[in-house]
Amino acid sequence: MDGVVRSAEDSSAIVGATVIVQSKDGQNPERVGALTKSDGSFSFTRLTRRNYRLAVSMVGYRKFDETLTLSLNEKKSIEIFLKPSPFETQQVVVTASKRRQLLTEVPVSISLVSSSSIQRRNIISLDDALRYVPGVNFVQDQVNIRGSSGYARGIGSRVLLLVDGIPLLAGDTGEAVWESIPVSDIDHIEIVKGAGSALYGSSALGGVIDVITKSDVLVNSTDVKLYGGFYEQPRYSEWQWSSKHRFFQGAAVTHSQPLGLGNFGITASLSYKKDDGYIQNDYFRRLNFFVKSVGNVGENQSLKIFADVFNQYSGNFLYWRDLNHALQPDSSTLGQWVNSTRANIAEIYTNVANSKFIYVVRGSYYFNHWYDNFGQTSSGIGDTSTSNVGYLEFQGTLNLDPSTILTFGADGELDFINSNIFTTKQSNSGAMYFQVERKFGRLHTTAGARYDYEKIQGKSAFNQLNPKLGLVYDLGGEASVRASIGTGFRAPSLGETYASTQTGGILIVANPGLLPERSLSEEIGARIPIGFVGYVDAAIFQNNYWDMIEPQFRTDGKITFQNVTRARVQGYEIDAASDAGTDFLTLTASYTYIYPLDLTTNSILKYRSRELFYASANFEKSIYRASVDFRYISAFENYDRDLVQLGIVKNGNKRVPAYVTDLRAGVDLTSLGYPVEVSFIVNNAFEYYYVEMIGNIAPIRNYSLVLSTNF
């Protein structure tokens, strides 16, 4: 049997769709699978049964599920058309268990962001794409999943950022650098909520974000995207620090083609973005170059190699001067800038050794260099840091029998840091992990553990064993209930341990005695489809933390990172989506409530909002496109009150809930023979003023026009 999978929208081939064929008769069911090739084709040989169930799934499309009847030795050909859908319950994910599996088999909460939603919203930085994900919000550029994180001034992260399964955290600060990932090459994003340390180790304490890049490099195609816009003048005359509109614009060109070497293909993208900033001294100029090649290097062996280089020159804005000058910094910081260059090269080698065993080797090198003019010296340079990170991982997946899958592996990392604020240090880490998945009828069980070793120069080594257990029960009709429990840990970053600098009137000093953070995460949830029109996913969760690392004022007025908090975050989340029985309208909504309690002080944790409510409506009919996004984020109750009481952040106690509405409208002329899409976007349409961090106004109303074409 063979066939081809196409999009129902334009009949284009769908690359990388999962095709599963399973017999419906016999005592030992026959089950085989494949991924569609660059032309959307697939094929199966040696099918010996008569009745089969054929299932085809792909992120962003409705699942195809049909029963086939084959005669003996019949050569059957089938053409399958998938309808777009942003919330199909049977999507295939890879992050939760380090292997491809159905979303309904995952024992933890997971959300997905499709490339179409990124394009529709004119996302220019990865973190902006995540601001619409249930349970996720940001305090400026630091991500917070279900209350796991607050704000640590750009140092450390409790969420692990991956690109195709490879970690991408800066070696010195341990932070995620969102701008270095080109959004033009993103196929989709998977967000796993809750401790992921049992498979991913340190920094996965609050969750994992995995950016999956596109795989259609064999398609000869060129994409061009141009955008431009401006920020509206603020409503209050006291805030109008410039008489001119502040503009932003950008351009991106992406080209893919076969290389002529076997079935290798290549894709390359170049993008430039410029933003004058709506806040004084908060501008940036950004240049990204990305290249990737994918192909087979032997029978059942594939190789993916990608590299990117990123440079950004930006102004620095930390806090407002006061509430009457909310878009202007203190005069002492005016003129501060940061220049950063980051480069990453990675490879992923996959070998399907036989029908039961697959192994993957991942490796990467991540270079990060930045400098600023804070505390300027005679050379004109203030703080500077250079980090070099090498990473290597081996992962194996073994089908022990039709009902049992073993995933195991080991990884290691070396970091070399040369900095005038973190000193010259090095660190190294290593780990071994395993996970067993077994089905007992409708019950899908998962059990595993990971042992980690971490060593920072000048400190004693850390080691930690993190087990986990997960259960999923299939209720039938693609409905399921799930439960999970697991531990997590995060070793302090080199930046948290040795940072010694002064910025914004704050003196930060080192704390070599810093200990790792530890956590215990528990969740019970259910995912219920609503006929053929949508789903509802609900979960209740509890995360316990020990030795949480938070920046704290000492009695001498200096700040240091300390293990100060024993905390517990409890809450629930409801996520729903529906197409209302139409092929042109999709509706999504989510509500997250958390109770983030500091058990040491019996107070609410800093910079955690108790309530998040997100809702979206997307209309697509003929050539017309329109959408609206709404976000409600309750005001955080606790913050760094010392910064306000010491007069460092004037009026820093002023904060309100966020009510943000974004509007988009456009036309796609592709079906008329013109490969052009034009969109007009209004972000923060009702000009609502709010802060994500004290003393720092979030983006004000802005307008943009986007032009995209493909040829």
Instruction: Report pLDDT for 85.
Output: 63
- DSSP letter, residue 279: S
CA distance 457 to 424: 9
Q: Where are the domains of the chain?
A: 2-82, 92-710
pTM summary value: 0.86
CA distance 494 to 174: 7
Instruction: Report pLDDT for 532.
Output: 67
Residue 693: both structure tokens together: 């961090």
Instruction: Report pLDDT for 546.
Output: 94
CATH for the 92-710 domain, from 1.10.15.40, 2.60.40.10, 3.90.1150.10, 2.40.170.20 = 2.40.170.20
CA distance 665 to 617: 12
CA distance 196 to 208: 7
The angle formed by the CA atoms of residues 202, 162 and 484, to the nearest 5 degrees, is 60
CA distance 128 to 578: 23
pLDDT digits (tens, 9 = 90+) for 470-501: 999 999 888 999 999 999 988 888 888 888 87
Consecutive H or E run containing 200: helix 197-200
Instruction: Report pLDDT for 50.
Output: 66
Q: What is the DSSP string of 107-125?
A: SS-EEEEEHHHHHHTT--S
Q: How far is CA 261 from CA 258, 293, 657, in A?
A: 8, 11, 56
* Averaged pLDDT of the chain: 88
pLDDT digits (tens, 9 = 90+) for 603-630: 999 999 999 999 999 998 889 999 999 9
**Spatial contact of 158 and 174, defined as CB atoms under 8 Å apart:** no
Instruction: Report pLDDT for 611.
Output: 97
Instruction: Report pLDDT for 60.
Output: 65
CA distance 362 to 165: 8
- CA 467 to the chain's CA centroid: 24
Q: What three-state secondary structure class fits 104?
A: helix
Instruction: Report pLDDT for 695.
Output: 92
Instruction: Report pLDDT for 87.
Output: 53
Instruction: Report pLDDT for 1.
Output: 75
Residues of the chain predicted below pLDDT 50? none
Q: Which of 449, 413, 456 is nearest to 432 (CA)?
A: 449
Q: From its phi and psi, is residue 458 left (phi > 0), alpha (psi between -120 and 50) or beta? A: left
Instruction: Report pLDDT for 14.
Output: 83
CA distance 80 to 64: 8
Instruction: Report pLDDT for 173.
Output: 82
CA distance 76 to 72: 11
Instruction: Report pLDDT for 387.
Output: 94
**Spatial contact of 321 and 331, defined as CB atoms under 8 Å apart:** yes
Phi, psi values for residue 621, rounded to 5°: -145, 125
For the chain, what is the total number of helices (H) and then of strands (E)?
A: 5, 43
Instruction: Report pLDDT for 99.
Output: 84
Q: Does domain 2-82 have CATH number 2.60.40.1120?
A: yes
The beta-carbon contacts of 546-552 under 8 Å, at least 24 apart in sequence, are 546/517, 546/518, 546/519, 547/515, 547/516, 547/517, 547/518, 548/517, 549/152, 549/156, 549/490, 549/492, 549/496, 549/514, 549/517, 550/150, 550/152, 550/606, 551/152, 551/153, 551/508, 551/640
Q: Which of 235, 139, 127 is nearest to 684 (CA)?
A: 235
Phi, psi values for residue 427, rounded to 5°: -140, 160
pLDDT digits (tens, 9 = 90+) for 644-680: 988 889 999 999 999 999 999 999 998 888 889 999 9
